[in-house]
Amino acid sequence: MPRGKILKDPLSAAEQFKTSGRVIDIREFGSGNINNTFLVTLEAVEEKQFILQRVNTHVFRQPELVMLNMRIAVEHMLRHLQSAPFIAGRRWEVPRVLLTQEGRDHWLAPDGSFWRAVSFIDSALTFDTVQNTEHAEEVGRTIGVFHSLLNDLPPDGLADTLKGFHITPLYLRHFDEVLAKYGAGKSPEVNYCLRFVSERSARAHVLENAKEQGRLRLRPIHGDPKVNNIMIDTSTCQAVGIVDLDTVKPGLIHYDIGDCLRSGCNPPGEETEQWETVRFDTDLCRDILRGYLSTAREFLTENDFDYLYESIRLLTFELGLRFFTDYLEGNVYFKVKNPEHNLLRALVQLKLTESIESRETAIHGIIKDLR
């Protein structure tokens, strides 16, 4: 959602990408935790608006490869759009990578900052949380469409732009290193997180083990399919696509499925301050999975189904662990509004994990019914 603050700063970057027309407005856009995003408005040209982003190069160490992955995935999806039966008759959009006047997919500013631009999807909105059953189903369907469109793209043609991303055992190893150096006090909340993580560390390897045993294989993934990356058409209320293609890379589709469900089945959302009341909503889980399977059933294997529950539990735990580690480390990765922000975010995800565990039988039941 627009934050409404007008900035002069990114103007020189916007100028690199615009094809014609004067820039009349630039404002901060969205609520990303890593990059800085702006909506640029041009004067009286056909495509009036575009999205401009300053990529966080502390997180994305090789941003050129991020752009390469993005272009490969976007071009692949655009080629399939006309013929894909699962979106026949529906509006479906892919954010196109815009080029600079020199024909490059990014602009390196004199201060070393890395900028890129993508097309703006108009007449569509995003929501931070799932609004109702229909929205939940559309969220699931979007991930299914995304996986289907990229299903025949060989994953080894994509670069690994974020080493260790969604590899839970590696987050755990980093957590241990950070914890060994942590010297500040231990509040009841910190102790809750510490105990929570130590009780679950033995189960952190489940998806990576399945990958090593050949039970699950690498595919192109989105990497960050949370609810507010899914665009909903303002008139039909149907999903029209998924944005934020920074983390498109080889991975397990289970990372996406788990991440989507941890985001979608938490009605107050990941930024709620009422962390003690957070619950995993199994009705929304059924709706999202039904939407996902309406297209993904075609390519899911028996093994894929076997790991669905674990993916939901593990990705939720993993995000809690990532937020908690960042809190202990002094907030070096995720943007924060105050020093306790990442601790609060961690508590939300760990409470959600606890709730998923207490609903394990119900979730297995939903998966069995839909299988």
| Residue with Cβ nearer ligand GN1 (80 or 226) | 226
Q: How far apart are CA 26 and CA 4, in angstroms?
A: 9
Residue 312's nearest CA partner among 254, 243, 368 is 254
Which C-beta is closer to ligand GN1: that of 18 or that of 224?
224
In whole angstroms, how close is the CB of 357 to Mg ion at the nearest point? 26
Nearer to Mg ion, 223 or 291 (CB): 223
User: From the CB of 246, what's the least distance to Mg ion, in Å?
Assistant: 5
Element (H, E) at 125: strand 124-125
Of Mg ion, ligand GN1, none, which one does residue 153 interact with (CB within 5 to 8 Å by kind)? none
Dig out the tokens for 231 from the structure: 């665009």
Both structure tokens of 326: 């960042």
Of Mg ion, ligand GN1, none, which one sits near residue 319, judging by CB under 5 to 8 A according to partner kind?
ligand GN1
Q: Which does 266 bind (CB under 5 to 8 A by kind): Mg ion, ligand GN1, none?
A: none
| Residue 270 binds Mg ion, judged by CB under 5 A | no
- What letter would DSSP give residue 23? E
Q: Supply φ then ψ for residue 295, to 5 degrees.
A: -115, -30
Rounded to a whole number of angstroms, the minimum distance from the CB of residue 270 to ligand GN1 is: 6
| Cα(207)–Cα(315) distance, integer angstroms | 10
Q: Which is nearer to ligand GN1, 37 or 148 (CB)?
A: 37
Residue 349 is encoded by which pair of tokens? 């995800």
What are the backbone dihedrals phi and psi of residue 227, each rounded to the nearest 5 degrees, phi first? -55, -40
- The site for ligand GN1 (CB under 6 A) is made up of 32-34, 59, 224, 226, 244, 247, 270, 319
Question: By rule CB under 5 A, what count of residues binds Mg ion?
Answer: 2
Q: Element (H or E) spanning 223, and its range?
A: none
Question: Token pair for residue 138?
Answer: 């559309």
Contact between 141 and 178 under an 8 Å Cβ cutoff? The reply is no
Complex with ligand GN1: residue 200 or 226, whichever CB lies closer = 226
Q: Which does 33 bind (CB under 5 to 8 A by kind): Mg ion, ligand GN1, none?
A: ligand GN1
Nearer to Mg ion, 162 or 232 (CB): 162
Nearer to ligand GN1, 244 or 304 (CB): 244
Q: Count CB atoms within 10 A of the CB of residue 180.
A: 7
The answer to whether residue 256 forms part of the interface with Mg ion (CB under 5 A) is no
244 binds Mg ion (CB under 5 A): yes
Question: Closest separation between CB of residue 57 and Mg ion, Å?
Answer: 15
**C-alpha to C-alpha distance for 363 and 358, rounded to whole angstroms:** 10
Q: Are 115 and 52 in contact (CB under 8 A)?
A: yes
Select the residue interacting with Mg ion from 93, 137, 224, 318 (CB under 5 A): 224
Of 210, 176, 192, the residue nearest 310 (C-alpha)? 210
Q: Which does 350 bind (CB under 5 to 8 A by kind): Mg ion, ligand GN1, none?
A: none
CB of 338 to Mg ion, least distance (A): 22
Binding interface with Mg ion (CB under 5 A): 224, 244
